[in-house]
Amino acid sequence: MFLKRLGPDPHANGAQTPALRGCPDIFELEDGDFAIIGVDIAAASIDRLPSTAGCGPDERIVRIPRKTLVLAKSDIPNRV
């Protein structure tokens, strides 16, 4: 299912979190889609989405730190 991590391991260089959990991460999946581990902010943000966006019952809005996405940028393909 998970093909590869995009960006550095959030525990690289000895970075620690409780039980090595709660770390934002981005993965490329075998089918080419992406999976994001982040803080679930859906309940607090659904009502603030633009009118052209929606969050279905099987979806979540997650927040990842800017640093996580910026450091993963070089691993994100430029093509569709």
Q: Looking at the domain assignment, is residue 71 inside a domain? A: yes
Q: Looking at the domain assignment, is residue 21 inside a domain? A: yes
Q: Looking at the domain assignment, is residue 25 inside a domain? A: yes
Q: Looking at the domain assignment, is residue 80 inside a domain? A: no
Q: Looking at the domain assignment, is residue 69 inside a domain? A: yes
Predicted confidence at residue 45, as pLDDT, reads 97
Predicted confidence at residue 47, as pLDDT, reads 96
Structural domains in the chain (count):
1
Range of the domain at 48: 2-75
Q: What is the mean pLDDT of residues 2-28?
A: 80
Q: Looking at the domain assignment, is residue 57 inside a domain? A: yes
For Cα atoms 71, 53, 36, give the angle at the middle one, nearest 5 degrees: 30
Question: Which of 13, 3, 71 is CA-nearest to residue 34?
Answer: 3
